[in-house]
């Protein structure tokens, strides 16, 4: 909270008391297991107050298990996330962040942390909260946008046209997204994990990922990445693994299995909920952000290391450069090309031959 900000600036109507309704809810170790965890969208009609997450600051290790894991920091797209609760402080819904990368082969690769259920409390009087959440990661891709190198565009168009017209559930929309499981760190059988007050601990947080001078409050959570959920279609499952491999190449292993994804959520002051607006907001971002198609209040930040050095996807990989006229276009990265070639080795048909022909020209 800003130094000159007062509780009197909070909208009227705050009652509070839900935190005190059960002594088990109290810090230092809030136990919320007595509360049910309904679907995150089931109780919008009960929401009365909210706090928006203006600064969702994520962190993860780009080289998990190495002596220097090269931890990255990145703010996801702002003003999508928020927590909703009653005048008494009972939490009923949390909208989580989205972000994306652009793959030179596949177009926009989008990721969302989708909340499956939540429970908890907020106390506006002391700016504290405690909640439990269940989430899955969702990854899907969108068709290429804009002018592309003709070879790369040919690959994208062939793949997109084939998958879009397919009866198989390929991840070409959010509704058919790759589902990445998550769990409490070190407990693969526990899909519920805590959102708690204060900053993440266990690793240093750079100044550029802190917002004490602007934020109302801050809370943190962390999840460990599990396996992707199988679809039951072997070809789709292989393609989904290809997409996850490409996504992790471009994002620095953000969703690598067993990696830990941590984020600090910096809240703006409480507001009154307009339930219709909340439902529209939630529905809009359920339809998604699309990595190179824009986000509501501007893009998030570029991923950086602690010292501010930008993380660059494929920084250790060789990139091919293709030139058309005066446009210099970064070609398909060798790693993506190799993974795509391996995937296509098991596919039959004209589409495969055409795509392989394009790849041979790179």
Q: Summarize pLDDT for 249-303 with one digit per residue, the tens.
A: 878 898 899 999 999 999 999 999 999 888 877 666 655 544 444 444 456 788 8
pLDDT value of position 24 = 98
Beta strand 49-61 with 271-272: parallel, antiparallel or unpaired?
antiparallel
> What pLDDT score does 278 carry?
83
Q: Is the pLDDT of residue 359 over 50?
A: yes
- For the chain, the domains span 13-306
CA–CA separation, 336 and 104 (whole Å): 8
Q: Which residues contact 194 (CB under 8 A, 6 or more apart)?
A: 30, 130, 131, 132, 133, 221
- Name the band, by pLDDT with cuts 50, 70 and 90, for residue 227: very high
How many Å apart are CA 14 and CA 88, to the nearest integer? 7
Q: What's the confidence (pLDDT) of residue 145?
A: 61
Average pLDDT rounded to a whole number, residues 318-324: 35
Please check the confidence at residue 4 and state whether its pLDDT lies above 70.
Answer: no
Contact 356, 341 (CB under 8 A): yes
Going 281 to 297 to 82 to 202, the CA torsion angle's sign is positive
231 DSSP 8-state letter: -
What is the pairing mode between strands 178-183 and 128-142? antiparallel
Distance CA 302, CA 265 (A): 17
pLDDT at 197: 97
Q: Is the pLDDT of residue 172 over 70?
A: yes
The CA distance from 35 to 19, in Å, is 12
Q: E-strand spans in 28-97?
A: 49-61, 71-75, 82-85, 91-95
Residues 6+ apart with CB under 8 A from 326: none
Q: Which position has the higher pLDDT, 117 or 361?
A: 117
Question: What pLDDT, on the 0 to 100 scale, is given for residue 166?
Answer: 78
Question: What confidence tens digit (pLDDT) does each residue in 130-146 have?
Answer: 999 988 888 887 766 65
Three-state DSSP state, 79: coil
pLDDT of the residue at 353: 75
Report, as an integer, the average pLDDT of 67-93: 91
Question: Residue 184 — pLDDT band, cuts 50, 70, 90?
Answer: very high
- Say which range, 6-15, 162-171, 210-219, 317-326, has the weakest mean pLDDT: 317-326
- What was the pLDDT predicted at 58? 94
SS3 (DSSP) at 159: helix
pLDDT, mean of residues 79-104 = 84
Question: What is the distance between the terminal CA atoms of the chain, rounded to a whole angstrom?
Answer: 53
Tell me the whole-structure pTM to 2 decimals: 0.81
Question: Is it the case that residue 325 has pLDDT exceeding 50?
Answer: no
In this structure, what token pair is assigned to residue 94? 């949390």
Q: Whole-angstrom Cα distance, residue 112 to residue 131?
A: 19
Looking at residue 315, its pLDDT comes to 43
Alpha carbon distance 37, 89 (integer Å): 16
Q: Cβ atoms within 10 A of the Cβ of 230, count?
A: 11
- Residue scoring higher pLDDT (8 or 328): 8
Q: What is the CA radius of gyration of the chain?
A: 22
Tokens (6 digits) for 144: 């290429």
Q: Mean of the per-residue pLDDT values for the chain?
A: 81
> Does residue 45 sit in helix, strand or coil?
helix
Q: How much is the pLDDT for 194?
A: 95
- 25-64 confidence digits (pLDDT tens): 999 999 999 999 988 888 999 999 999 999 999 999 999 9
Instruction: Report phi then psi at 46, rounded to 5.
Output: -100, -10
For 36, 133, 223, the CA distances from 190, given in Å and listed in that order, are 16, 11, 10
Q: Around Cβ 34, how many Cβ atoms within 10 Å?
A: 10
């Amino acid at each position: 909270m800003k130094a000159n900000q007062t509780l009197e600036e909070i909208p009227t109507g705050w009652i509070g008391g839900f935190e005190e309704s059960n002594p088990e809810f109290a810090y230092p170790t809030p136990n919320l297991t007595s509360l049910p965890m309904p679907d995150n969208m089931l109780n919008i009609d009960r929401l009365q107050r909210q706090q928006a997450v203006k600064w969702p600051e994520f962190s993860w290790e780009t080289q998990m298990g190495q002596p220097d894991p090269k931890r990255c920091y990145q703010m996801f797209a702002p003003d999508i996330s928020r927590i909703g609760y009653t005048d008494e402080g009972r939490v009923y819904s949390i909208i989580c962040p989205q972000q994306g990368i652009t793959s030179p082969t596949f177009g926009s690769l989008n990721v969302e942390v989708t909340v499956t259920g939540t429970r908890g409390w907020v106390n506006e009087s002391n700016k504290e909260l405690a909640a439990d959440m269940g989430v899955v990661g969702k990854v899907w891709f969108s068709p290429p946008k804009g002018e592309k190198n003709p070879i790369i565009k040919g690959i994208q168009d062939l793949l997109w046209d084939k998958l879009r017209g397919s009866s198989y559930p390929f991840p070409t929309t959010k509704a058919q997204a790759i589902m990445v499981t998550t769990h409490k760190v070190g407990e693969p059988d526990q899909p519920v994990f805590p959102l708690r007050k204060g900053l993440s601990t266990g690793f240093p947080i750079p100044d550029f990922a802190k917002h004490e001078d602007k934020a109302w409050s801050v809370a943190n959570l962390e999840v460990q990445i599990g396996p992707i959920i199988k679809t039951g279609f072997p070809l789709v499952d292989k393609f989904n693994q290809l997409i996850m491999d490409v996504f992790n190449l471009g994002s620095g292993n953000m969703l690598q299995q067993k990696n830990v994804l941590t984020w600090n959520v910096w809240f703006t002051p409480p507001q009154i909920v307009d339930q219709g607006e909340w439902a529209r907001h939630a529905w809009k971002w359920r339809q998604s952000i699309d990595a190179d198609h824009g986000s509501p209040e501007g893009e998030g930040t570029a991923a950086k290391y602690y010292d501010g050095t930008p993380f660059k996807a494929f920084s250790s990989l060789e990139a091919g450069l293709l030139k058309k006229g005066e446009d210099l276009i970064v070609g398909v990265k060798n790693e993506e090309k190799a993974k795509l070639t391996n995937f296509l080795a098991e596919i039959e048909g004209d589409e495969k031959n055409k795509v392989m022909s394009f790849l041979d020209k790179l």
